[in-house]
Structure 1
């Protein structure tokens, strides 16, 4: 740096120290404009209107388990920026509660998973706001959009908690809480429009949603998926009854990263729809109204949830208690049922999400999935999962409607960092993508996989790939647990405890922990095994240590 530039920098700092925070925000925009103009034409631009200075800083904060809340938050943040707001977008992961008071306006989007549980990245902030350490937010305003699944008793509970706790900390509600079910798009859009209008009323220079236009090219989304051609589909397992399929799709224009999920937008099979019609004795060609349009009952049922039945559906159709799909449970209904009543009572069929099992650096222009077939028998009839059954029937050349569900909470760390991957069954899928990525980028960090399934002979998914990575040194260690190959069942949590000393050493060396798979039992058992081995070998409280890892972004889970 020259002597003249040094003196100039010192003089600028002295002048800036006398400015308020709003003045500094305005100045930063002005200087950015000067820089852009200098780089483009060399001319100087006029000072911008003090829009940012006049608007209150807006914090868009999200807590997400599957990526839906994150996607909604990013969409809202983009719209708010286009409307002229001073926006900061942030994940709750590692977010300091004291920074809430700096925002003035807070737009919070958060999901609920499991039995009313907060997403992993929201746990710390959720707990802090519910404690005596919650900051004073009396100078702020807020609005909460809560995502959930109303088939669970504690619907949107985490969002409700945040709404109550922000208000208890003194913050003023801009809008009453909005609660969105599985089909959240319409509610999310309404929340965005209402919140932008409320902010525009408070600051007239801010544009409402109606005034904001977007020129961005449409991208494949849940509402607007793309068609992908099937390149290959084949079973990874041998024995019937526990089939797992490897699927390769041609997606030359699709952008994704290891850790993301792919959404399959499927329809119900003709066989299941016909079984519903047989059980209800309704005419397949009878017209019904769906989304304001007249369609055949058969076609309407193709896009309805017939396998996982919502409690409201069960109540409205007076279905029998217990498990089973719609054809079996609707037979006990005694009174007559019209076609329109049936359609109105059923929820739309949600896309099925699968962890991506490939890296775009290895499988360029393709995306790979690992899908276990859901199959069972009901009243002598074969029944299948919506997407997994579809995949089992696919052939090369067929097409699927798909979109990427980003998962920024499940990313690889820096290339030199060690990783411990725990993924039994198809939970292995994202770790295949991780290994492909690390191999392609020549990452030097160590890699350790814990994998488990029923039998070594039938269920060791991608066995030759993992053995090659192990023999070539890309995979540092492989710990296997095949539960049915000996008298006593052995699962990945048992292997973790057996390897406890070395796992603890890896954690001390800065390893990142990843868990993928069943969230009901496996993830909880693995969590407890980790807490136990940390307490045993680290002489510290395991739960506290894991919470610290989570806050550091080193304990990452993709569970379902």
Structure 2
């Protein structure tokens, strides 16, 4: 998923700091080192071309809101804070939206009792779930409020998918699609950097298999998250997340299991003491793995989470695509335990999305082009992480803005995975894109090269762009690529800026505070 991680908004605006003037008796290298030292000392990137931030009201700081930090380190930072903030420190810090919240609001919902499940953080997985359980167990009884009403979600309007054309070339191991959706008459508006939320239904074949395993006709009424009772087939198809059962579903199955061994195994899974649960198990996996566990349909439905919209980074500009919006989506399929597992939203969009409109909403983002087109921008987006940068470049091309743009893009092979190649090379030729650095990890006969390798090769030029006030944007996988890129930026600061590790870290944090380091990671 291309989900937004508003890191910049988690920090207060810093105070201005002194800079080494251009006419000072130092070489450019010495001046860069001194400015880097001041950046670490004052907690902001003191680079030429950086304007002082305006005075603002103090904001609460969330120093643990950084996916590059380890769980233990985040929890230590939040020690002594209110329970909701300690819950927040246990999240994966990606603000990916898969839980139906962002990290802060999910933590607050648990603390207020509005959310009872501790296993919604998908990227945090079992580690986050265990940490949340431990924090909840340590909290005094007074800290466990009665369940509160959940806040209403975004208003959804139907949108129609017009096309789902394949971008991946012949021989690619991936199936990446360029999706075009019609916004005419929806009232939805967007800017480059925003995301589109789409509520896709479950795979009808998976629904039928679950109903068969349960011995249900599909007509039995069950409760849905909105309080309305619907036939179980309709509920499983469009209202309940059968691809991702919760811990409370395991608890229910454990209580219903007639086989003592299955009951014991399920109980260990509930307590997080066993790895017997199939990896990435959906409801069908659990029903097949524990055939004696058959609670009532109504109770089973009540234990499942509601189906939530999936956020996708927008890959188009409204200036270039009036009345439409485009996405860049990888169709996820993998064979596990003898059957093909499909991504709920991506496979619906790739295979069935043209059949009927889908509920959608627009997610406004902090991920924005600078207001001043003269500010240099560096974009790092491997794979489908290219989406927002295609929107950025398309937007600038429509405005006739040339240069001061640098794109790092990569994937597996240059022949089959060079997404949007004609457009990118056209923008490079006409000057919309000033620099292009490509990295291919599976090209035949060549060594594996990733975007962070290209960054290291061109570290001196990157550092000069940062000294000119450049903004750095990154979009893509948070668990690996984004961490590697973050580590590479620190290496560049140490090497080119002559900083130590602590100063380099402060420099990165300072860039984020100034909105000069923005992440759209998932």
| TM norm structure 1 | 0.64
The 3-state SS of whatever aligns with 2:415 is: helix
Contact in 2 for aligned 1:285/1:297 (Cα 8 Å): yes
Gap change, CA 1:128 and 1:331, over 3 Å in 2? closer
2:163 aligned partner? 232
Counterpart selection for 1:512 from 471, 480, 491: 471
Q: Report 1:128-527 matches (<5 A).
A: 146-148=105-107, 150-151=118-119, 152=121, 153-154=127-128, 186-188=149-151, 222-238=153-169, 239=171, 241-252=173-184, 253-290=187-224, 291-302=226-237, 303-318=239-254, 320-323=276-279, 324-333=281-290, 334-394=292-352, 398-485=356-443, 486=445, 488-527=447-486
* Residues in 1 aligned to 2:249 and 2:322: alpha-carbon distance in whole angstroms: 43
Contact in 2 for aligned 1:110/1:147 (Cα 8 Å): no
Structure with a larger share of its residues in strand: 1
* Residues in 1 aligned to 2:106 and 2:61: alpha-carbon distance in whole angstroms: 11
Q: Deviations over 1:225-284 (max 9, x none)?
A: 111222222100134641001011111332111110000011112111112123333332
Q: Deviations over 1:175-202 (max 9, x none)?
A: 989999xxx9x5346xxxxxxxxxxxxx
Contact in 1 for aligned 2:403/2:434 (Cα 8 Å): no
* Residues in 2 aligned to 1:357 and 1:179: alpha-carbon distance in whole angstroms: 43
Gap change, CA 1:116 and 1:513, over 3 Å in 2? closer
Return 5+ residue gaps in structure 1 as ranges.
Answer: 1-64, 71-89, 131-143, 162-174, 190-221
* Residues in 1 aligned to 2:247 and 2:62: alpha-carbon distance in whole angstroms: 25
Matched, 1:66 2:4: yes
The structural deviation recorded for 1:538 is 1.4
Contact in 1 for aligned 2:159/2:182 (Cα 8 Å): yes
Say how many residue pairs are matched: 402
2:490 aligned partner? 531
* Residues in 1 aligned to 2:398 and 2:386: alpha-carbon distance in whole angstroms: 19
* Higher RCO by CA contacts (8 Å cutoff, separation 6 or greater): 2
Return 5+ residue gaps in structure 2 as ranges.
Answer: 16-55, 82-102, 108-116, 122-126, 136-141, 255-265, 267-275
Measured on the aligned residues, the alpha-carbon RMSD in Å equals 3.7
1:557 aligned partner? 519
Q: Larger Rg: 1 or 2?
A: 1
Gap change, CA 1:179 and 1:367, over 3 Å in 2? farther
The 3-state SS of whatever aligns with 2:242 is: coil
Contact in 1 for aligned 2:68/2:483 (Cα 8 Å): no
Greater than 6 Å deviation, 4+ residue runs: 106-113, 115-118, 126-130, 155-158, 175-180
Q: Deviations over 1:139-186 (max 9, x none)?
A: xxxxx973248324547999xx9xxxxxxxxxxxxx989999xxx9x5
The structural deviation recorded for 1:113 is 7.9
Gap change, CA 1:505 and 1:156, over 3 Å in 2? farther
Contact in 2 for aligned 1:147/1:156 (Cα 8 Å): no
* Residues in 1 aligned to 2:471 and 2:417: alpha-carbon distance in whole angstroms: 26
* Residues in 2 aligned to 1:103 and 1:155: alpha-carbon distance in whole angstroms: 34
* Residues in 1 aligned to 2:130 and 2:337: alpha-carbon distance in whole angstroms: 36
Contact in 1 for aligned 2:166/2:178 (Cα 8 Å): yes
* Residues in 2 aligned to 1:356 and 1:520: alpha-carbon distance in whole angstroms: 21
Gap change, CA 1:358 and 1:179, over 3 Å in 2? farther
Gap change, CA 1:312 and 1:251, over 3 Å in 2? same
Contact in 2 for aligned 1:264/1:351 (Cα 8 Å): yes
1:9 aligned partner? none
Q: Deviations over 1:288-343 (max 9, x none)?
A: 23343332111111221122333333343345513132212321222332211211
* Residues in 1 aligned to 2:146 and 2:458: alpha-carbon distance in whole angstroms: 44
The 3-state SS of whatever aligns with 1:271 is: helix
The structural deviation recorded for 1:402 is 1.2
Gap change, CA 1:292 and 1:95, over 3 Å in 2? same
Gap change, CA 1:339 and 1:277, over 3 Å in 2? same
1:73 aligned partner? none
Gap change, CA 1:520 and 1:267, over 3 Å in 2? same
Gap change, CA 1:500 and 1:110, over 3 Å in 2? closer
Q: Report 1:55-94 matches (<5 A).
A: 66=4, 91-94=9-12
